[in-house]
Amino acid sequence: MKDLASLPEGALRFEDGVPVALHAPSSGLTALPPSVGELTSLRRIDLDGNALTVLPAALAELPRLEVLTLYGNRLDAIPQELGRLGSLEHLSVGGNALTSVPGTIWGLTRLRSLNLAENLLTEIPEAVGDLVELRMLDLGHNRLGGLPDNIGDLPNLTDYLYLSDNGFTTAPRWLGRLDRLDYLNLTDNRLTELPDAIGDMAALRELRIYNNQITRLPDTIGRLGRLRELHAMNNRLTELPESVGDLSALRHLDLRNNPIRRLPGTIGKLTRLTHLDLRATRPRELPESLADLPCLEKLDLRWTKLDRIPAWLGDLRDRGCVVLL
């Protein structure tokens, strides 16, 4: 194992004299010695931010490996042999130049997180549905034209789903079946609307849909009773549904740069709202119910063109709310 000397000093981490981790992020590595595959006690490899162009197939000989992070290298392929890493729970190969993923990877059924973001992928196979332990899936910043319906049936997808910057023109209806998911990112696509099924995502706490072409939010959005943050800037919304007032847990509402001409009076029911961003929107007046929001800490009205400045804005300021005009 003499070629291990090419690894940075201190890259191998030991427990009781046994190597358990290879930690060498941003170390300028251009190659990984194949003899790493002889370190069969390794549980974690972190090689983010290097300049690796290929991976040795010998990595597949690490039966205890649980974490493999290779974000931000120069890989254009993954060895199919990595599908033999039966203990692997976390795989990150984002920020590379992958055009496809070997079919064997979809057999890693113990995976809990999979990061394929910032590659050149054009499709994801239905075999993704076999990853039943997934809690986090990042497919953002690729060239995907669509996604398999069975992603909506992943029973443990609870933490994050990133689908940003793929050029999607529609959001899939199967999102509604992910009723345990906390965080959904659909930003930087070409969406014009959200499906009614979005209201079935009962556990959702954060929804990011900015930088799209969305013209309306479905009435069903009011069913998201746990939603805390809604980021919808840079769309084409002209109004909000009355049901937005039913978002009883909402803390942060960002509507910047939308041609919104009217805000519903029900917005005053958002008693936990702390931040409301209306910059560069187009309402002629504000609903007086905004004055009754007890937790509001910041109201941003810059670059709006109100017919008049309501007197109750002064009351909000007196109460400690930052009001920007």
Query: pLDDT tens across 214-233, in order?
Result: 999 999 999 999 999 999 99
Q: Are 208 and 324 found together in one domain?
A: yes
Domain span holding position 69: 1-166
Q: Are 11 and 159 found together in one domain?
A: yes
Confidence of residue 108 (pLDDT cuts 50, 70, 90): very high
Q: Are 18 and 54 found together in one domain?
A: yes
Q: Is the pTM of this model over 0.85?
A: yes
pLDDT at 2 over 70: no
Q: What DSSP state is assigned to residue 16?
A: T
**Structure token digits, residue 249:** 């847990």
Q: Choose one of 139, 166, 193: the last residue of a domain.
A: 166
pLDDT at 135 over 70: yes
Q: Choose one of 110, 144, 166: the last residue of a domain.
A: 166
- 231: closest CA among 260, 202, 211? 211
pLDDT at 105 over 90: yes
What pLDDT does 273 receive? 98
Q: Are 280 and 206 found together in one domain?
A: yes
Q: Are 231 and 306 found together in one domain?
A: yes
Q: Are 120 and 186 found together in one domain?
A: no
Number of domains in the chain: 2
What H or E segment, with its residue span, contains residue 316? helix 312-318
Q: Choose one of 166, 188, 219: the last residue of a domain.
A: 166
Burial class (CB in 10 A: 0-12, 13-18, 19+), 188: buried
CATH number at residue 41: 3.80.10.10
Q: Are 314 and 200 found together in one domain?
A: yes
Confidence of residue 1 (pLDDT cuts 50, 70, 90): low
Q: Are 144 and 284 found together in one domain?
A: no
Confidence of residue 4 (pLDDT cuts 50, 70, 90): confident
Confidence of residue 268 (pLDDT cuts 50, 70, 90): very high
What pLDDT does 322 receive? 97
CA distance 76 to 96: 7
CA distance 194 to 315: 36
